[in-house]
Each structure stands twice: as C-alpha cells, then as structure tokens.
Structure 1
Amino acid sequence: MNKKKLFLTFALIALIACAAVVMLFAGCEMISDPAEPDDMGIADMNGGDRLLTGLQVAAIGLLVVFVVLIVLIILIKGLKMLLEKLEQASAGRGKDRAARKAEAKARKAAEKQAKIDAARARVEAAQKKDAPAPVASETDEEEEIAAVMAAIYAYYDAMPAYERSNLKFRVRSIKEIK
C-alpha cells in the first residue's frame, strides 16, 4: 500500500471514530440536576438504562484508546520515514566522500607508479649504454621522504581515533637497510 492510500485510510478511520464519539455523546441522555451537576442519575435508572449508559461509557473509552493508538502509529511511521530519508541523504554524502577519496588514492597511486616506471626506464637506459648508474639527487631524496611520510600518514589514518588522538611524529632521517 503506498503512502497516499495509507494516509487516506487512517484519515477515514479517524473521521469515523470522531463521528461515532459524537453520536454516542448525542445519544447519551445525561440527566443532570442543576443543584448536583456531578450526579448522572444512575441511582434512579432501571437496569436497562444502567446497562446502556455503561456500554456507552465503555464504547467511548475504547474509541478514545484506539483513536490515540492510530494517531501514535501515524506519528511513529512518519518519524520512521523522516529518519530513513535523513539516513539516505547522509549515506549519499558519505558515498560521494568515499568515492572522492578513492579517486584521490587512485590518482596518487597512478602518479607514483608513473614515477617508478620513469625511474626504471632511466636505469635500464643507463645500463644499456654501459654508463654508470645515476646518482641520487636532492629531489630523489625529497621524493623518498615524501613517500615515507605518505606511508606513515596512511598508517596513521587507518588507526582508530582514540589511539591516534595523542600520537604525533616527525620524520628526522631515513636510512637504507642493507
């Protein structure tokens, strides 16, 4: 059942319940004495009138309970739909953010792979010419430092927040392990 039909069904039930309550109040003959406004005259009624009055009170009570339950159900379903829409909106934003991060990682990986391929090509070209191997320049060392820093930050980002909150570091030197 779609939302419009569901709403119309609940509205019709509420309208019928309100009409029934009005009819019961109109059908009740409340005999009241102006001197004693709280007295309904039940003591003066015969058994059939007492039964009818009791049934009317019970019916009104049941109708009120069910109308309130229907209203609560409508409110809860409305809140549920609202929360689902908010969750979908936030999930959509999270997916966009995750997609952007994935694209950035892929772009960085492609750039890094391109640098590695270029370095291999230079080494192979130098080996073919029987020339001495190229000497590491200052820029190569800076690239190595940047790569190490990136690896440390990637590890740092993968840690839970409570572990990394007090963690601070600085790369001071890089040594080659033989």
Structure 2
Amino acid sequence: MAENDADALKLLHELDDPEWIEWPRGYDPRKTGRLFADLLARLNVAFESLCVSEQDVQDSSEYGRITIPDKATIAGTRIVVCVSKFGSLALICADNPRAYLGTEEAQQEGVLDATDLATTRAALTGLGYVVIPEELIENEYEGQTLLRTPGQRVSWWDRYFGER
C-alpha cells in the first residue's frame, strides 16, 4: 500500500518492467477478474446501486473500469474507478478519467464528495488495491519501457492505464 506520493511513485517505478508492457510478469487474468468482480460487488453494496463495469480492455494495461452512477453519489457526479493489470493499481476519478486534475480539484469544484471518495477508497484498499492519485499518474513518465517520439509527452497514465 502506498502511504504517500513518494511511496506511490516508487511503486510505479518498481512495476515498470521493459519486458512486460501490457501486463506484469506472472499476471493471472482469472485472479484479477475475481478481484475486480469483488470490487464491483462491494461498490454496488456501498452505493446501494448497480454500478456498470467494463473489463478486459484489449491492447491496454488497464484491466477495466467501474462506474458508480451519478444518482448514487452525494454530489450527483458519477465516479469512475480504473483498475490496471499492474500491481492492483487503481484510480478514482470524478466524472471520467482526466476530467479533473484529480480528486482534490474535483472536491474543490464540488463534483466529488469526501464521503463518496472515502467509501470508494475503502472498497479498493479493503481488497488490496493501491489507489494512485490521479494527480500523480499524470506526471511525466520517467521509466524506460515506453518509447517516446521527439516532443511527445508520456505520462504514468500511459504506462499503466493507456492503450498499447
């Protein structure tokens, strides 16, 4: 579990293996799928609503997403949880990934309630997911796995949630 941004950044570097781009060494899609199903069930109960899931995104390091409907949240904005195939990494995003600079900005804008954020985070961490702040995942990628063309900006998002 990442206790702070420095721990989270260290974890991102540790998981960055140039030989394994789309999923990590030892990746077990069945185990990941069971964990994802458990997360969906927890969120359905926690928000007293049917959340929508998309999974097994082809040619992507992202395993899937769960959308908590806007009608189930205090602020009336949907919450999207993105789950990576790497190290049980997860993101919590208001409305959509990259719609806000992160959960802090979304809270300041009044579109993400602190209670909903805490409920979502508890469901994730209770299953062993590591929640990476969206603000951090948008930082420039510092690893060696993804190639860049001159002038191209690549972020940690591209590494652990983007398409290949």
Does the pair score TM above 0.5? no
Higher relative contact order (CA 8 A, sep 6+): 2
More strand by share: 2
More helix by share: 1
TM-score by length of 1: 0.21
